[in-house]
A and B are shown apart, each in its own frame.
Chain A
């Protein structure tokens, strides 16, 4: 394997506490050496990347993506989804199990990680918590874990029954897996296609109340409390309501291992962005009120949020070009996350660059226990993103590397242009 020298860049590694000019040498897919500018010699055959004026950071990690394989290759494949990830600066993605069939076996979990899938960044499967994600019978967590699953979830659906959720939390804790909950009390959201409230009323759409999310998060936290087992880890996926954030905040104060992620669309957009039935503003959880959106920003700024995760959910154009209530939920997000986070969290709302990057790398890696990821410490994986933090650019959905185009951020101004994405020492993306 060749080596790669990234020179003249400004290295930010929030996990290792580095923020300054450094050269970085990758060898055999790992970080071999970090030194001051000009101190590292390019050994024979080493490829050299000149990162002058650019920021060099740990490759980004998205712990919530839908790569649609197996079974829905017309929306996305592992190859196209990871190509979009690399273009967005991501070097690791955790893939949700709501595929066809559902990833509820070690065989599918291994199939997703096979080199035959053509992934250009690391794919970590997240396995179904219950068979078929039907919320009834637990899958075999131990064998899923040894096949490579990094967490369990029924994402797309909640684990609704108290008894099943309690069992899931306890069984996952025994084998050292996190439980990721799609917090939606589906008894309250049936038939709903956007956030409940005046906007849904005006548009004549059935609403999904915020209590459907916050209520289930509160229930889950109660179960974690009752289990009295420090190994139990509950992670709340795509948090969208002030109520759910408040519950997580309180759980943390009580010393529980409860974490949460927020998607860019939930800290940027509101139900008003549904406009006149734009299906690219339809996702689950739905875009909420301005007060909920502001609560997401607040929670990111004050550290309650553990990770930014995109919930990248590609759908074919023909699936989205239908009546709003019949359109599938979800938007793509891998190519826009960094640009939106830098434009808004960093530039507009003054979150330090290191903290933005931490929410996109070190923290999600720690959350799912992804060893050697999210840091550039010597010996860790050679996962690097090199980007121009000042560059402004306009996102164009039709140029996406994803197989799908369903994004509300088409034409938006982004900040921070990815120049190279390096995955385990190999260039996975280079800006054209």
Chain B
């Protein structure tokens, strides 16, 4: 009998060509995916964020004094852009913003050329927000600078996952900054809504299960394909919001990304009936849970104003945590050497 496993349709064992190992990240300071970080790397960022938070601002702003960081934004952004900019400036770095609407990108310059130009201008790291999934990998390979992924298409937003983790730890594991494989054992995080188009959902689902958390993805099929459950360990799909809520210590709401629906038909009234987080639902099914949202929130759609402003809401804490997490990530970008918490 064959001892080598083969798909049932194949008569003989097939040994296919191997998938080559990834060359990424080229630079140990890059943060392209939440999955690139080891748990030691995550711990280092969390610990450093707390240290930088407590540090005298006049001492802190010498850390990256006059170092040059470019913010390259192909999409509009309030929180992420401001947060990265404040973080870099808090460490003393010079920042420059290049946006697709006021640059040569409008004239057809490619991402590769924009990256090479920024490098030639003296940028030492690039913080990239881009509407295409995978763009940070293209940029890192082309520019060979540390690249911080500030959101790529429908793919990832790793600093959001880190600031979400800091927020979750503050509530459920106060004082903990050193994380391990069981730090979040027993914690269930439900991510609700437009999972398909959400980079926040992906970065969280690639990070939180590695700390022992269960991640439940919740939403209608148009916004959450069944295949999502196969995205990794610790991830499951649940269509019934209230059932997911009852098992959760954290409920993370997402915005419907109208700009990415690409012709998808969605009945918003039906959506609200099934998935809106309102005060009544929260009180009935998850009265102890913390409510999170990466923003921008659309009051009255995915959650009600009462919940957004309510006692269980951690939405503004997330924003605040974003600045210190990004300080740690920006510092790492310019100071990391091989082996310092990356996958290298």
Taking beta carbons and an 8 Å cutoff, which residues of A are in contact with B? 190-191, 196-198, 200-206, 242, 268-270, 272-273, 275-277, 290-291, 293-295, 297-298, 301, 318, 321-326, 344, 348-349, 412
Contacts and interface: CB of A to CB of B under 8 A. Distances in A.
Given A204-B156, A294-B7, A321 B112 contact: yes
A372 to B, nearest CB: 36
Contact of B138 (A202, A268, A297, A322): A322
B14 A294 contact: yes
Contact of A294 (B6, B130, B134): B6
Interface in B1-47: 6-7, 9-12, 14-17, 19-20, 22, 24, 32
B137 A204 contact: no
A396 to B, nearest CB: 16
Nearest to A318: B110
Nearest to B33: A276
A272 B19 contact: yes
A295 B112 CA distance: 38
Sorted nearest first, the 7 A-B pairs with minimum C-beta distance are A204-B155, A277-B134, A204-B154, A323-B132, A204-B133, A198-B230, A324-B134
29 contacts: A190-B263, A198-B231, A202-B202, A203-B134, A203-B155, A204-B154, A204-B156, A204-B199, A206-B154, A242-B9, A270-B19, A273-B19, A275-B20, A276-B32, A276-B134, A277-B133, A291-B7, A291-B9, A294-B7, A294-B10, A294-B16, A295-B10, A298-B9, A298-B10, A301-B11, A321-B142, A324-B134, A325-B134, A349-B14
A270 B84 CA distance: 37
A298 B13 CA distance: 11
A344 B17 contact: yes
A270 B154 CA distance: 22
A325 B133 contact: yes
Contacts of A275: 19-20, 22
B227 interface: yes
B14 A268 contact: no
Which of B6, B132, B142, B231 is the most central at the interface, judged by chain A CB atoms within 10 Å of its CB?
B132
A273 to B, nearest CB: 6
Contact of B24 (A204, A276, A323): A276
Contacts, number: 109
Contact of A295 (B9, B225, B262): B9
Contacts of B12: 301, 349
Interface of B: 6-7, 9-12, 14-17, 19-20, 22, 24, 32, 110-112, 130, 132-135, 137-138, 142, 152-156, 196, 199, 202, 225, 227-228, 230-232, 262-263
A206 B262 contact: yes
Given A204-B153, A277-B138, A290 B19 contact: no
A348 B227 contact: no
Given A201-B230, A277-B133, 4 more contacts: A190-B262, A204-B153, A277-B134, A321-B138
A323 B6 CA distance: 35
A203 B153 CA distance: 10
B132 A325 contact: yes
Contact of B231 (A202, A205, A325, A344): A202
Contact of B22 (A276, A290, A294, A323): A276
Given A293-B16, A321-B112, A326 B262 contact: no
A323 B9 contact: no
Contacts of B10: 294-295, 297-298
Contact of A201 (B14, B138, B153, B231): B231
Nearest to B154: A204
B105 to A, nearest CB: 12
Contacts of A191: 262
A323 B142 CA distance: 12
B149 to A, nearest CB: 11
B228 A201 contact: yes
Nearest to B140: A276
A206 to B, nearest CB: 7
A270 B263 CA distance: 29
A191 B152 CA distance: 17
B72 to A, nearest CB: 13
